[in-house]
Structures are given as structure tokens and as C-alpha cells.
Structure 1
Amino acid sequence: MSSPNQYFVLIVPACAALLGVAMIYCWSRLRDHRYLLWIASGYIATAIPMGIHSLMPNEQLARWTLPLSSMYLLGVWTMANGVALRFGGRAHAAWAWPIMLITLGLLLYFSRVDDDLWLRLQILNSGLALLVALPAKSILYGRTPTLPLKTLLRASYLTVLLYAFMRVAILATVIPKEVQPELTRSGFWLLMLATNMLISIWLALAILTSTAMSIVQSLDHERSRDPLTRLLNRRAFFEQVQKRLDLYGHSGWAVLTCDLDHFKLVNDTWGHAAGDRALKEFGALLARTVRQDDLAARFGGEEFVLLIRSASLHTAVLVAERLRSSVMNLHIPATAHTLTASFGVVQLSGNGDINQAIEQADRLLYEAKHAGRNRVVWKAS
């Protein structure tokens, strides 16, 4: 007969299964986040044998060792692989399969040939700890510059890894070889379940929180980008300009406005698809040219604005001239048109206003247009 306590401890595997179901639901809505499906599968795969073990007396453990241990091992590796995918790495399946097969082979021997529950606990938990350790390099040293809350995720993973190896050490030193007659009713089993629940909830919250932050970051990125060229839009440009000026001051900047020459001719002669390709190519050229602290934006139509770090007006003019020369080398498929661009360049003064600088650069741009196009006109702000 099962005791009420045994049913009570089912709360832990039930919580793990619910976390897995929640992640599957999130994955169904966010198919790009494939790691959620891996982690969810790991939660569910480990919850099932944990629940069965909680209801099973010791005398039946040996008979069910292989199927339940297989689910534990596969679930832990699946979860480790999911966390590794979150960091852009992997859990090294080439090592995982030998670990699982060796672990299951030893478990088979000590359940069917020499029934030893204490050794089976050591073997299974050692195998689980090794599987948890497989993605350690990817997670700890992987290059994930855009991953939100990566420090929290790494700390959560290290906690899981530390707990996995501590559990092996505790089993070897604290738990006597003469295991209590009813392992699944022992204090050790209850403590292990409670610890598993806390760590599982923590890891799940860290993963789901970082996923939510990624989505917010992605939405904010989309909101701030021109859909055609992927450069900043007007609103985002001014937001980023203010951040740059607040951080570095107003001096040492130049404003460049640029406009593709005879762009209406491209649309009228070869169609709007050709015009879109021209804008994409020009936007890609600007993106390749700007440096980390520089900004490039599409203000609308064929009009673009850049804010660049420049110690002098001469340096900014050289950048504009390099861009002007590069534009003529752009190839627009299905057209015989050679693109050119005109530029207005203003050096931002120490107390200059960015809006006034853009207006002045625009006036210089129109001077370049009236002077024959495909040229750079400049003036100190």
C-alpha cells in the first residue's frame, strides 16, 4: 500500500512536467527558439521516471532499472543540449552515447547479475553528472554577445553542474552502503527531490526570462530598423544620437547627409523592384562603412544620414569621398544604370545642435545636386 507521503512527493515530478509543458507551449509560439523544445523534452523525460520511482518499493527497483535509467539519462542529455543551444553550442552527442551506454551496461550488471542498489545509485548519478558537464565549454566560453541575462544563465548552469557532482560525492560519503529498506520513503530521497525542484524551477525561470528578454530585444530591434535597408529609422537615429552625445560629448562628430542621384529614373525605367535593390545595396554599403560608434539611418526615400566619429572636417570629407567612389561600383541586377550619390558634410561643433547640423548638411547636399551631382560639399558647423 502506498503512503500519503509517497503521493505528496509526486509534486516534484509533476512540477517538472508542467514546466516542460509550459516550454513546449512557448516553443509552439516561438519556433525560432528550438532550444525550448529540447529543454522541455528533458524536463518531461526526467519527470516520468522520478514519479514512478517515488511510488515504487525497493524490491521493484532492480526490475525497472534499465527503462527508468534510460529516461533519466536521455532526459538530462536532452536538457543539457537545449541549454547549450541557447548559448550557440552543443552537448557533444559523440560523447553522450558512450556515457549512456556504459552507464546502462553497468546498471544492467548490478541489477540483474549482482543486485546492488547503492552501486546503482553511484553509477547512475555519475553518468548524469558527466552528461551535464558535456556542454560546459560551449556554455562557459561560447561567444554570445547578444544573449540577454547570459550571466544568470551561466550561474544557473554552474549550479546544476555543481549539484550533479555534489550528489555523487554525497552518495559516496554520506549515504551508507546498507541503504534504508525503503529508499523512496527515506529522508535522502525527499531532500533530493526538494533540491531538484528548486534547481529545476530556477533554471526554467532563467531560461524563460532570457527568452522573453530576447523577444523584447528582437521587437525593439525591428521597431528601430528600416525594413528595406535594415539601417536605423529616423526615430531610432535620434535616440541613438542622443545617447552618443550624452556619453562622448558634442565635439568630435560629423554629420553626413546623402542622396542617390536620379533615383526616380531607376524606378521609372526599371521598376520599383530595381529601385529597392539599389536602396538595399546602398544601405549595405553604409552599414559596411560605419564603425562601432557611428550611426547610419534611412530618413525616407533615397535620403540617408550618418553620424560619424571625426576629429576634423577633413576626415569626414574623406569618408564621404570614399563612399561616393564606392557607390559607383555598386552593381544593380537587371539595370544598366550606374549609381551615384551626392553628399553634404558638416562638422558638429562642441555646442552644436544635431537638428541644425542635419539641416545645414541638407542645404549642402542640395548645393551638390545643383552643382551637377555625384559630389561632396562641406562646411564647418
Structure 2
Amino acid sequence: MTPLRLFILLNPAIGLVFATVFVVLWLNQRNRPYILMMAGASASYALAVTAQMTIPAMPRIGLNTMTSAVLYQLALSLFVDAMLTRVGVVGNRRWLLGISAVILSLVAYFFYVDDSLSTRIYVQNLGAGAMLCFAALRLLAAPVWKPIDRVLFWVVLLTGLHFLPRTVMTMRVDVPAGMITPENFGRSLFYSALGFALVILALLLCLTFLLAVALDIFDDLRRERNGDSLTPLLNRRGFEEEADRRLVRLHGAPASVIFCDIDRFKSINDGHGHAAGDEVIRAVGRLIAEELRREDIAGRIGGEEFVILLPQSGHEDARLLAERLRARIAELHIGALAGATLTASFGVAEAGPNEPLDEVMERADDMLYRAKRGGRNRVEG
């Protein structure tokens, strides 16, 4: 066995290894169907390379040509669908089926009707490049853009773009030299370059996708650890960790803290039950989350107590937000309260330059208790 053929054998091995890894990962993360799709893509890729290497070339039958073409196309389609499903970009399967149908139809035409190996090579390689470029551009429509998605975008885009120059350059060498016939295809420069490229690209794409999945899982675990159990806000630990990071990044720029406490919450629990109390907390938490800007963060730090950090906002902006929240809470209609009015009190404090988080939170808490002593349903600070 030649060193080249031994190296090319790495392709099915890579596909099978990653298929196994993704299946094992999916068994522990069944809420992520795109992991199983990626396992299918890796397995299809391994089968495609194996079919191309082992099925004998049979004139007019095309078992090698069509089997490997279908499997390559399936692997590409599953990879693209998995990548886009992961980021929440849906509605891709019609496009993928349409592009795949066109590519496979052209491959079949240039085998059974107008037999041309060179044309089939261009169709399959440029088609694969077009599908990957399509995937990269669709990735830009992701509702949430993480740093790993930026990496994935460039890896997929550059992988797609590379198909055109590599195919054209190697074919320009092979065709004049007569090295692009079915009999000597395995000894052509194109075949050698393709083998090396696929090993590198398969590793790069699979590893990048695996890293993206691992980071997704890590983010979910962190959200579970730092998220509040009743509201879309952070818990105390999550808020303090994130608020500390954001205050450090401000480098002395203004920031403000708002404390919010639901008035007479104990009487709500005593008079209407703990289920009603939980409903009130959920409603107030949702309302606070609706009012936040992208750079703001909020958390529930006690049973009925909430805190908000407003980076790049001074005292007056914080008071305006607190007044708006106070008015909106008073307008809430909670079914479990049977028409009783819900109110909340607020304390506001602006952070001094490089002031520690615990100190500004303490001042905002003092303002909150001043609001409580002043009659509740008011903003102090």
C-alpha cells in the first residue's frame, strides 16, 4: 500500500471516530438533535470515502460514482443542517434538498448520458463549495451570535471557498497530462490533493463543531448554576459574578444599581398561598427582564427582592427606570391575587469611580429601606 493511499485511509477513520464521539455525546444530550445529525454526517462521510476507494469502477453501471456521490451529498447536507439547527436558523432543508438534487442529477447526466469525468469533478466540488458558502451565509442569521459561531463561520466559509481554486489548479495540471481518466484517476494530482485536503478539512470542521457543542453545554450548565429558579433573571451568585466583571470593564464609567422589593409579600403568601406568591415573583421577574437593555443585568437575590445593574447609566437614568418599573408593577393583574393591587419599593444608587459592587449594593439597599419606611410604593435615592 502506497503512503498516499495509507494517508487517504485516514478519511474514513476520522469519520468513524467522530461519528462515535457524536453518538456518545448525543446519548447524554438528547435535547440537542443536531449532535445526532452531525454523527450521521460523519458516518456518511466515512462511507462515501470507503465506497469511492473500494467499489470497482464499472462502465455504464456507475455504482462507484453514484453511491459515493449520494453519500458525500448526504454528509454535506447533514453537516449544514446540524450547524444551522444548532444556532436556531431553520427552514434550510428545502434548499439543501434542492441543491443536492441538482448536483446529483448533473452527476448522473455526465455519467449516463454525456460521460465526462472532468465535468463530474467540477460539478461535485463546486457544488460542495456552494453548499458550504450557503451554510456560512445562513449562519449570519443566527438570533444569538457567540464567539465560537464567528470561528465556525470563517472555518466553513473558507472551506467552501477553497474548493474552486484547488479544483481548477489541479485540473489544469491533470487534463493536459492525460491523468484524469477513470483508469488513472487514482494517480492524478487532483486525487492526491483532494485526499490531503479532505483529511485536514474533515478534522477542522468536526473539531470546530465539537468545540461549539462543548461550549453550548458549558453555557447551559453555567446558566443552570447562576439562573434563578422562578424568573428569567440571575440568582444572587450569578448576578454578583457578572456584575463584578462588568464593573471592572467600565474603567470608571458611570453605573447605577437599583434594588426592588415587592411590598407586603408575606401577607400575599399568608393570604393567597405560596403558589400565588410564586406567580407574583414570576410576573415581576418577567417585567424586569422586559425593561433591560442588552448591557444591563438583573437578579433575584432574595425571596421577593431584585437587583439591577445599569452600566453606562447615571443616577437620573436609573431613577427613571425604577419609576417606570414601579408604575408597571402597580398595573399588573395577577389572577391569584383576586383583584388585590400589587406594589413594589425601589432604592437607587450610582456607583462611584472604581467603587466595589458590595458597597454600591449596600447603598442601594439603604435607599430601599428608606422607601419602605416612607410608605412603600415609591423610589428613593
TM-score (norm 1): 0.85
Identity of aligned residues (%): 32
Matched, 1:258 2:260: yes
Tell me the distance in 1 between the aligned counterparts of 2:367 and 2:7.
77
Q: Go from structure 1 to structure 2 and tell me whether the alpha carbon gap of 1:375 and 1:101 turns closer, same or farther (over 3 Å shift).
A: closer
Q: State the secondary structure of the residue aligned to 2:174.
A: coil
Aligned to 1:137: 137
Aligned to 2:239: 237
Once the two structures are TM-superposed, the CA of residue 90 in structure 1 deviates from its matched residue by 5.2
Q: Go from structure 1 to structure 2 and tell me whether the alpha carbon gap of 1:254 and 1:171 turns closer, same or farther (over 3 Å shift).
A: closer
Tell me the distance in 1 between the aligned counterparts of 2:107 and 2:364.
76
Q: State the secondary structure of the residue aligned to 2:26.
A: helix
Task: Give the residue type in structure 1 aligned to 2:62.
Answer: R
| Kept in 2: contact 1:122–1:171 (CA 8 A) | no
Aligned to 1:370: 373
Tell me the distance in 1 between the aligned counterparts of 2:114 and 2:323.
82
Q: State the secondary structure of the residue aligned to 1:134.
A: helix
Once the two structures are TM-superposed, the CA of residue 204 in structure 1 deviates from its matched residue by 0.6
Aligned to 1:184: 186
| Kept in 2: contact 1:58–1:184 (CA 8 A) | no
| Kept in 2: contact 1:254–1:347 (CA 8 A) | yes
Task: Give the residue type in structure 2 aligned to 1:108.
Answer: A
| Kept in 2: contact 1:19–1:43 (CA 8 A) | yes
Q: Go from structure 1 to structure 2 and tell me whether the alpha carbon gap of 1:214 and 1:54 turns closer, same or farther (over 3 Å shift).
A: same
Q: Go from structure 1 to structure 2 and tell me whether the alpha carbon gap of 1:5 and 1:297 turns closer, same or farther (over 3 Å shift).
A: closer
Aligned to 2:11: 12
CA deviations on 1:182-202 (whole Å, 9 max, x unpaired) are: 423555424322210111001
Task: Give the residue type in structure 2 aligned to 1:51.
Answer: T
CA deviations on 1:92-147 (whole Å, 9 max, x unpaired) are: 444444443344344334434454433333333343333334324213x3345442
Matches within 5 A, 1:85-104: 85-89=85-89, 92-104=92-104
Once the two structures are TM-superposed, the CA of residue 250 in structure 1 deviates from its matched residue by 5.4
Mind listing any 5+ residue stretches in structure 1 that lack a counterpart? none
Tell me the distance in 1 between the aligned counterparts of 2:295 and 2:126.
49
Task: Give the residue type in structure 2 aligned to 1:165.
Answer: L
Instruction: Count the aligned residue pairs.
Output: 376
Q: State the secondary structure of the residue aligned to 2:258.
A: strand
Q: State the secondary structure of the residue aligned to 1:220.
A: helix
| Kept in 2: contact 1:91–1:135 (CA 8 A) | no
Aligned to 1:37: 36
Matches within 5 A, 1:44-193: 44-59=43-58, 62-64=61-63, 65-89=65-89, 92-139=92-139, 141-143=140-142, 145-170=144-169, 172-176=171-175, 179=180, 181-184=183-186, 186=188, 188-193=190-195
- Aligned with 1:361 (options 352, 361, 364): 364
Aligned to 2:25: 26
Once the two structures are TM-superposed, the CA of residue 60 in structure 1 deviates from its matched residue by 5.8
Tell me the distance in 2 between the aligned counterparts of 1:154 and 1:311.
34
| Kept in 2: contact 1:132–1:164 (CA 8 A) | no
Mind listing any 5+ residue stretches in structure 2 that lack a counterpart? none
Task: Give the residue type in structure 1 aligned to 2:14.
Answer: C
| Kept in 1: contact 2:131–2:160 (CA 8 A) | no
